[in-house]
Structure 1
Amino acid sequence: MLPFVLSAALLEVVPSGKVPSSIPTASSTATIPTVMITRGQEQTVTPDWSRLSFANLPAITQSGSLNGQKWSAGQPVEKLLTLGDFQDSFKLQDLNLYAIAVATQMPIKLVKLSQFKLLAGQTLADLALAVPELEQLPVSTVKPLSDLLKSAKPSYRLTEKTLPQLLEQDPTLGALSFQNFDLTGYTLDKLPGLIHAPLQAFRHWQEAKLTDIPGLREMPWQQFPNPPSDSSMSGVIQLPTTMSYRLGKDSTSISGSSALGYQIPCAGCTSITFSDPPALQKKRWISGLAQWVQGGISDVAQSTTHSEPTGRNVFGKAFKVVVTEVSPKQAQTALYFRFCQFQQQISCSPYAIGPVPFLSYRNGELMPVGNLEIGTDRSITPQMLPSVKQILPTIPTEIPSTVNHWSELLSQILEQIKALLHPPATPTA
């Protein structure tokens, strides 16, 4: 049964399990590199994308599960997320090992082939397609290939043929893979052309964990093919000069999800409010601990029973910024990530993987909120989404005072939301 939380002015419905048992604190954001920016007479701290990487991103602070995948408090997100989870945001699949090495000063000649775990699942036929440079070299001169052939077929006689020529001569060789072959004795430079092949050229690249790609966790986000958006700092983006603690009746919301838009009301929910500039006056960013909303894209969104904390995609689609701890003096934020798949079209889960402690903002400081004109993700069909009125049932303005009336009211509200509210990522102890 769903518990109910009463405010002084109205009745607020909060689904069971939606409030995490732990809240990220300001001290846990110490590893986030930041830079000071100036807008007119005001200054604010924002992430320094030229230094922020997965390596210095704080770990997840709350255990949970989503679509059968589990994570634990203290787990780094790069051990959980894959290249496919960022295929329509950071576009990590467009990277190659050379670009990563340049950005991170990774010594190619010292990195073992076994550290590039995506290679283990490749067959010789896959490799011939992924690394065109192998068309120019005899297999006998490429030690990892020649050693693999000698190991799998000791009687096989190596010639001056290239890999494509060998496969044309004997197509059965194409099924050989590095799956059970020890690659620790070779470095990346021993497979010519490998470092220049885009990650998406390799079979099953979508399933590769970020930690399967050497150097990727150390690569600054600014160096990604599609880095976090800086549009939140200029143009139509509004940076408030004052925020305040608010617990009371609803006003205009600027938080929600990419699926439903960023104007999801939540009467009586804890939030921060803005006093300036005029476009943000009296607007509310509601706490993700108080409200969860429907999210996700396409098939994954339909198959999951989970939702996501309300918030904003301030810096793009790779992650969602959620207000967590709110006090009269400051607001703490956290990041939430998602799982994605791609078959006929992109499919993503709600942003429910987190929280990952992010930045905190004190009263009177500027806070990036993103583009206020961004609306619903158009890749989602109307049939997939209930209306805001369906998700947030109408609450009577006059609250009955008798126990019987209370019981009747609660029963009515339960009936309205029972089939519409989705539980969030399941927290575990």
Structure 2
Amino acid sequence: MYNEHLATNNQILDTTAEVTAIVPVRAASQETTHNKTDRGLEYRIEKFNKLRYLMVAGLIAGLALHGLIRYGGSYNIGSLLFGEKAVAQTVPSKYSNLNTSIDKTKQTKQPQPVATKYVNGAPTPDWSSITFRNMKFGGAGSVEFPNIKNPGMKETRTWSAGQSLAEVMELGDFEATEFNIEDFTLKDIADITGIQLKNLKLSDLETLDWQTLEDLAEAIPNLEDSEVGAIPPIQELVTKVTGSTVSYQTVGEVLDNYPQLGEVELGEYVKLDKYQLTSIPGIEDAQLKDFTNWQNTTIGKVPGLADVPFDRFPSVPIPDVSFIGKVDLPLGSLESGRWKSISGSYQAGFNVPCEKTCGHIEVSGSDIVTGAQWMSGKDQKVKGGFGILGSLNGGKEPTGRHPFGKSFKQVIWDINEADGSITTAMFFRICKRGWVDLGCSPYFIGPVPFFTYREIDPIILGTPLTVPKN
């Protein structure tokens, strides 16, 4: 009995021992240490993953920033990084690379020949500081006109270095351009410049020299209803031409009674410097374009016009920033066979290759413009002009482009390979688009110093722009 009980107890004890042996028992201190190890490993893995994400993000950001700097994208990097004021710009499209940059490089540190402001790093004229008087020729030239009877038309056009545009250019030279200066009245000009019209003479407005009384009646509001005796210069004209004193007749009446007054010019019979400009009532309210052959008027002989800032004109040229490249490589005139040309003229197109040796710049930027070549107008002349005046200067003009409109042509002039710089010049044309349309000459009136560029400087190319592929 005792033995059976003992055996049973022993069996129970054995069983208990067996169970105890297969169930692992871990001390509390051991469990805490293991948990700490797991959490440490998880922390290191999490930290490593974050580091990997940051490395990838940094790589992507670096590539993006490199692209902006290399290709001069349309973003204003300075404003993004340093909070600089953003510059308005054209929205890129599939027709435009707009590879502009706010980085002004060395360009803004050097003086420019003309008043300048920068649009996305590229120089543009500061029209608010530019006038016909302060723009000077950098060279000399002259041209004779065809023998055509045209009241007010000069026989020759001559210019020399240091002369202002106001002394040489005429109103008609800018007809059908962005300026619209023919829309001005004398009152408009006086309001802008502050000149006192009452202190001027009739001779100060060159246009009056070849006007007939009929011309004046058509140009000046209400003049034909005024009595002749109330207008001393017209009284003198009528008396000298007709031999009669008709003080109480109106201008309209004397024109009906004496048709010859519609054919004789005011300057032939009247000393214009004897009379005040305002002695002809209403003359200040007539638009310049209302006078006969206004196109032949020298700009400097329209009172005050030479001093009107270009930004006060009825309209001003807006730079065509559809395409902006960078001056990649200025090259002298040792190379020939340049065929990736983006320069030329309106008549010849803007892909005129240079078969001989031509100085030029190579342009970089986006894939659209990289490798394009803009030839020097000093080395290459192209067809220009139209109509009778299209034959002037042999029908040729310096090759170039028109990023600032039809008013003038921008031409690459001097190239200095040693310091990687180029100068550009403005060239103007002569136009006579009046009742007798003589057309326009090539752009050869110049040079007028324009912008200077160095390697990597942005340069506005404008449109049209296609780069020959082969």
User: Is the shorter-chain TM-score for this pair beyond 0.5, marking a shared fold?
Assistant: yes
Give yes or no for contact 1:294–1:350 (8 Å, CA) kept in 2. yes
Gaps of 5+ in 2: 1-110, 147-155
Q: Distance in 1 between matches of 2:219 and 2:144?
A: 33
CA deviations on 1:223-243 (whole Å, 9 max, x unpaired) are 334422x1423xxx2222343
Amino acid at match of 2:114: I
- Residue in 2 that maps onto 1:369: 461
Amino acid at match of 1:222: D
Amino acid at match of 1:34: T
Select the residue among 123, 130, 143 that pairs with 1:45.
Answer: 123
Greater RCO structure (CA 8 Å; 6+ sep): 1
1:130 deviates by 1.4
- Residue in 2 that maps onto 1:118: 207
Amino acid at match of 1:215: G
Give yes or no for contact 2:327–2:361 (8 Å, CA) kept in 1. no
Give yes or no for contact 2:238–2:244 (8 Å, CA) kept in 1. no
- Residue in 1 that maps onto 2:366: 277
Rate the CA distance shift 1:182–1:225 in 2: closer, same or farther, 3 A. same
Give yes or no for contact 1:241–1:277 (8 Å, CA) kept in 2. no
1:374 deviates by 8.8
- Residue in 1 that maps onto 2:409: 320
Select the residue among 263, 279, 282 that pairs with 1:190.
Answer: 279
CA deviations on 1:176-228 (whole Å, 9 max, x unpaired) are 54213222243332221111112222222222222221222222223334422
Please tell me whether residue 33 in structure 1 is matched to residue 120 in structure 2.
no
- 1:217-228 paired onto structure 2 within 5 Å: 217-228=306-317
Structure 1 residues 171-180 or 207-216, which shifts more?
171-180
Q: Distance in 1 between matches of 2:367 and 2:144?
A: 39
Give yes or no for contact 2:236–2:270 (8 Å, CA) kept in 1. no
Select the residue among 344, 347, 368 that pairs with 1:256.
Answer: 344
Q: Distance in 1 between matches of 2:400 and 2:326?
A: 19
Q: Distance in 2 between matches of 1:301 and 1:148?
A: 38
Q: Distance in 1 between matches of 2:363 and 2:349?
A: 19
SS of structure 1 residue aligned to 2:368? helix
- 1:91-170 paired onto structure 2 within 5 Å: 91-150=180-239, 156-159=245-248, 161-170=249-258
Question: Percent identity of the aligned residues?
Answer: 32
Rate the CA distance shift 1:205–1:344 in 2: closer, same or farther, 3 A. closer
Q: Distance in 2 between matches of 1:322 and 1:133?
A: 47
Q: Give TM-score scaled by structure 2 length.
A: 0.65
Rate the CA distance shift 1:182–1:369 in 2: closer, same or farther, 3 A. same
- Residue in 2 that maps onto 1:294: 383
Gaps of 5+ in 1: 1-28, 376-387, 389-429
Rate the CA distance shift 1:294–1:173 in 2: closer, same or farther, 3 A. closer
Q: Give TM-score scaled by structure 1 length.
A: 0.71
Q: Distance in 2 between matches of 1:356 and 1:124?
A: 39
Q: Distance in 2 between matches of 1:147 and 1:67?
A: 34
SS of structure 2 residue aligned to 1:59? coil
Q: Distance in 1 between matches of 2:243 and 2:411?
A: 58
Give yes or no for contact 1:64–1:72 (8 Å, CA) kept in 2. yes
SS of structure 2 residue aligned to 1:335? strand
Aligned residues between the structures? 339
Amino acid at match of 2:330: Y
What is the aligned-residue RMSD (CA, Å)? Answer: 2.8
- 1:61-100 paired onto structure 2 within 5 Å: 61-65=139-143, 67=145, 69-74=156-161, 75-89=163-177, 90-100=179-189
Structure 1 residues 148-157 or 343-352, which shifts more?
148-157
- Residue in 2 that maps onto 1:244: 329
SS of structure 1 residue aligned to 2:192? helix
Rate the CA distance shift 1:177–1:265 in 2: closer, same or farther, 3 A. closer
Please tell me whether residue 54 in structure 1 is matched to residue 132 in structure 2.
yes
Give yes or no for contact 2:359–2:376 (8 Å, CA) kept in 1. yes
Amino acid at match of 1:50: S
Please tell me whether residue 331 in structure 1 is matched to residue 422 in structure 2.
yes
Larger proportion of helix = 2
Amino acid at match of 1:46: T
Give yes or no for contact 1:242–1:365 (8 Å, CA) kept in 2. yes
Give yes or no for contact 1:61–1:357 (8 Å, CA) kept in 2. no
SS of structure 1 residue aligned to 2:281? coil
Structure 1 residues 130-139 or 141-150, which shifts more?
141-150
